[in-house]
A and B are shown apart, each in its own frame.
Chain A
Amino acid sequence: KQEVTQIPAALSVPEGENLVLNCSFTDSAIYNLQWFRQDPGKGLTSLLLIQSSQREQTSGRLNASLDKSSGRSTLYIAASQPGDSATYLCAVRSGGSNYKLTFGKGTLLTVNP
């Protein structure tokens, strides 16, 4: 059974800092890995999706890496801003046609002005 762990559970940083969020998964037989953002009381917004054959994806100030063999992914946020404050969720997709996602508990990020 796939399990996804995110470290740290919460992180508070001053504005402008670069930061790294970590995600690990137990079964390396994944189809892809995805990072989502969730604002309080809201749904999920997809940030980056890395296919199993890829090593990283970049979007603006965000960079996500994937090391499938070791079961790890990192989300790097450059020059953090208060608007980046949210919960960041990591999810892995197992094989099969139903697109089953297994989520971590998330990292609650607070960027202080």
Chain B
Amino acid sequence: ETGVTQTPRHLVMGMTNKKSLKCEQHLGHNAMYWYKQSAKKPLELMFVYSLEERVENNSVPSRFSPECPNSSHLFLHLHTLQPEDSALYLCASRNADRPADTQYFGPGTRLTVL
């Protein structure tokens, strides 16, 4: 247990569905991240939130919409996804006030788009 939880752990959705992924951290961190991990590709950074403000959007399609209502919670809203969006979506958090600290990762949500 890293102190970062993600729900659901597995999700199967059709291309016309709308769903949301949730991430919650219990570490008192103030920066949160979404990553995508596809088969045979490196982890790709999607979004960065620092102090609840989105500070980076790594050229992610608009069918992915992040939301950070407070420093403990991060959502990824999904709509009109494509089969190639099937992947493991990982959330991470860190203390942005301590530059040398690492990121702590959640267990991920395995997403399958049919």
| Chain A residues packing against B (C-beta within 8 Å) | 4, 31-32, 34, 36, 41-46, 49, 51, 89, 91, 97-106
Between A and B, 27 residue pairs with Cβ closer than 8 Å are A4-B42, A41-B108, A42-B108, A43-B6, A43-B90, A43-B108, A44-B105, A45-B2, A46-B104, A49-B100, A51-B100, A98-B31, A98-B48, A98-B50, A98-B55, A99-B31, A99-B48, A99-B94, A99-B96, A99-B99, A99-B103, A100-B48, A101-B43, A101-B45, A102-B42, A105-B42, A106-B42
A48→B48 CA distance, assembly (Å): 23
Supply 6 further A-B pairs (C-beta < 8 A) apart from A44-B92, A98-B50, A99-B48: A43-B4, A44-B105, A49-B100, A98-B56, A99-B99, A101-B45
CB distance from B80 to the nearest CB of A (A): 26
CB distance from B59 to the nearest CB of A (A): 12
Is A43 a contact partner of B106 (Cβ separation < 8 A)?
yes
- Chain A residues with Cβ under 8 A from B110's Cβ? 41
Asked if B16 is at the interface (CB within 8 A of a chain A CB), the reply is: no
Residues A44 and B48 in contact in the complex (CB < 8 Å), given A99-B31, A101-B103, A103-B42:
no
- Chain A residues with Cβ under 8 A from B96's Cβ? 97, 99
Interface residues of B in 37-51 (CB under 8 A from A): 40-43, 45, 48, 50
Classify the interface of chain A: helix, strand, loop or mixed: strand
How many chain B residues touch A (CB < 8 A): the figure is: 28
A26→B14 CA distance, assembly (Å): 39
CB distance from B99 to the nearest CB of A (A): 8
| Chain B residues packing against A (C-beta within 8 Å) | 2, 4, 6, 31, 40-43, 45, 48, 50, 55-56, 88, 90, 92, 94, 96, 99-100, 102-108, 110
Is B41 a contact partner of A42 (Cβ separation < 8 A)?
no
In the complex, which of the residues A44, A46, A49 contacts B90, with contact meaning CB atoms closer than 8 Å? A44
- Chain A residues with Cβ under 8 A from B4's Cβ? 43
- Chain B residues with Cβ under 8 A from A101's Cβ? 43, 45, 103
- Chain B residues with Cβ under 8 A from A31's Cβ? 99
